[in-house]
């Protein structure tokens, strides 16, 4: 029974070391450096704990003898001084290692991809820059990056303090209103990595997730070119009608669809929303049904978000969902 319990505890513990949102399952330079820092500190603390515990056990178990007070005081003085020196050395060493690791988190190559990350209640806006630092296009809640290349993230907040954290790729850094923080990220292999806002920011803080999709260079370039292009024209009568409804209603006042009259800026850019894997900052998979459900009643799905209830007929709802699903 005890053996089975020990095995179960070990299995559960090991399971927590992997996954698409684990600080111990690392696939980027910054994350590797942080993992090494964690391991060094855990080992150092474990050794200190074992030494202190061993000394306490020895002190309790040893046989007490009457000794000369001067000798005892001298030994106690040497012991306290040695402990103080060891403490200074350990703390200074861990501080230097931590400082060195922090410097690695902000170092980026000259050819790094530059993306502005804007956190707001409760979703992420990613603005991709051109070489001249001009905005090229933007996405929401889904960050694509090329494998093996540094990505320079310029972190900004629109409202309250948020915190950008993708444990498998980089460290955690706050987004503070009125201030720009810089975080460097690099993925060493293709994959999908989950991130999360790590600073409590209001009612839907737990529903403020993001996805980092690391792709090979050719795949990333194809994605980048498709995202930079304007929205495709609808190919069906239903979707065409949905485009007219979208631009005629208040949807166009909040959202942008490049290549159309919709130029709103308060909500996510929907130019290629149909190509994203999730909507609502990781809340639902991107399907026509989930798009329709979100449009029909966003406050039930994510209470407190800034999208108002738009009164649409059932036919209009089907048309708009068909239009958005086709924006690949």
Q: What is the pTM of this model?
A: 0.80
Answer yes or no: do 132 and 204 share one domain. Answer: yes
**C-alpha angle 75-77-79 in degrees, rounded to nearest 5:** 70
* pLDDT of 16 above 70: no
Q: Which residue has the tokens 């009457």?
A: 66
How many CB atoms are closer than 10 A to CB 260? 18
Residue 7 lies in a domain: no
Q: Which residue has the tokens 């530059």?
A: 114
The percentage of the chain sitting over the pLDDT mark of 70, rounded to a whole number, equals 88
Answer yes or no: do 117 and 173 share one domain. Answer: yes
How many CB atoms are closer than 10 A to CB 115? 20
Answer yes or no: do 282 and 219 share one domain. Answer: no
Answer for the pair 284, 296: CB distance below 8 angstroms, yes or no: no
Q: Which residue has the tokens 């966003």?
A: 298
- pLDDT for res 52: 86
Residue 316 lies in a domain: yes
Q: Which of 224, 258, 278 is the last residue of a domain?
A: 224
Task: Name the least confident of 58-72, 235-249, 288-302, 312-326.
Answer: 58-72
Answer yes or no: do 206 and 131 share one domain. Answer: yes
Rounded distance between C-alpha atoms, residue 110 and residue 297, angstroms: 45
Residue 17 lies in a domain: no
- Per 3-state DSSP, what percentage of the chain is helix, strand, and coil (rounded to 5)? 45, 20, 35
Higher pLDDT among residues 63 and 300, named by residue: 300
- pLDDT for res 235: 87
Rounded distance between C-alpha atoms, residue 192 and residue 189, angstroms: 10
Residue 139 lies in a domain: yes
What is the chain's Cα-based Rg? Answer: 27
Q: Which residue has the tokens 């391991």?
A: 39
- pLDDT bin (cut points 50, 70, 90) of residue 251 is confident
- pLDDT bin (cut points 50, 70, 90) of residue 3 is low
- pLDDT for res 208: 94
* pLDDT of 204 above 60: yes
Residue 4 lies in a domain: no
Rounded distance between C-alpha atoms, residue 301 and residue 117, angstroms: 25
Answer yes or no: do 174 and 141 share one domain. Answer: yes
Closest CA to 105 of 70, 155, 71, 64: 155
How many CB atoms are closer than 10 A to CB 137? 19
Burial of 16 (0-12, 13-18, 19+ CB in 10 A): exposed
Rounded distance between C-alpha atoms, residue 328 and residue 322, angstroms: 12
Mean per-residue pLDDT, 50-58: 87
- pLDDT tens per residue across span 86-125: 888 888 888 888 887 777 766 666 678 899 999 999 999 9
Answer yes or no: do 319 and 270 share one domain. Answer: yes
Answer yes or no: do 72 and 129 share one domain. Answer: no
Answer yes or no: do 164 and 244 share one domain. Answer: no
Q: Which of 224, 254, 288 is the last residue of a domain?
A: 224
Residue 144 lies in a domain: yes
Mean per-residue pLDDT, 291-299: 92
- pLDDT for res 37: 84
In this structure, what CATH number is given to the domain that contains residue 281?
2.60.40.420
Containing structural domain, residue 284: 237-325
* pLDDT of 157 above 60: yes
- pLDDT for res 109: 67
**Mean pLDDT of the residues in the chain:** 85
Q: Which of 224, 254, 284 is the last residue of a domain?
A: 224
Higher pLDDT among residues 112 and 277, named by residue: 277
Q: Which residues 6+ apart lie within 8 Å of 25 measured at CB?
A: 17, 18, 19, 167, 168
Residue 5 lies in a domain: no
- pLDDT for res 31: 80
- In order, the DSSP letters of 254-280 are H-B-TTSS-B--SS---TTGGGSSEET
- pLDDT for res 10: 44
Answer yes or no: do 81 and 118 share one domain. Answer: no
Residue 75 lies in a domain: yes
- pLDDT for res 136: 84
* Domain total of the chain: 3
């Amino acid at each position: 029974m005890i053996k089975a319990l020990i095995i179960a505890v070990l299995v559960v513990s090991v399971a927590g070391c992997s996954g698409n949102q684990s600080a111990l399952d690392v696939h980027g330079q910054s994350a590797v450096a942080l993992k090494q820092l964690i391991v060094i500190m855990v080992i150092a603390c474990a050794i200190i704990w074992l030494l202190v515990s061993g000394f306490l056990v020895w002190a309790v178990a040893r046989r007490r003898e009457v000794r000369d007070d001067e000798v005892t005081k001298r030994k106690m003085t040497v012991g306290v001084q040695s402990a103080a020196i060891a403490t200074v050395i350990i703390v200074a060493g861990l501080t230097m290692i931590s400082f060195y690791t922090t410097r690695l988190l902000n170092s980026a190559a000259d050819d790094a991809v530059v993306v502005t990350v804007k956190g707001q209640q409760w979703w992420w806006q990613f603005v991709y820059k051109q070489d001249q630092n001009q905005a090229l296009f933007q996405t929401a809640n889904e960050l694509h990056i090329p494998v093996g290349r540094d990505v320079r993230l310029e972190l900004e907040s629109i409202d309250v303090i948020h915190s950008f954290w993708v444990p498998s790729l980089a460290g955690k850094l706050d987004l503070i209103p009125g201030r720009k923080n810089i975080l460097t990220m690099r993925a060493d292999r293709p994959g999908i990595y989950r991130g999360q806002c790590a600073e409590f920011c209001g009612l839907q803080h737990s529903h403020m997730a993001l996805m980092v999709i690391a792709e090979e260079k050719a795949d990333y370039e194809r994605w980048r070119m498709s995202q930079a292009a304007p929205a495709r024209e609808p190919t069906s009568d239903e979707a065409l009608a949905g485009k007219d409804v979208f631009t005629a209603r208040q949807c166009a006042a909040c959202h942008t669809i490049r290549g159309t009259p919709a130029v709103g800026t308060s909500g996510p850019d929907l130019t290629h929303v149909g190509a994203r894997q999730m909507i609502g900052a990781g809340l639902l998979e991107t399907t026509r049904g989930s798009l329709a459900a979100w449009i029909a009643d966003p406050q039930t799905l994510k209470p407190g978000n800034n999208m108002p209830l738009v009164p649409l007929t059932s036919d209009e709802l089907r048309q708009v969902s068909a239009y958005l699903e086709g924006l690949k």
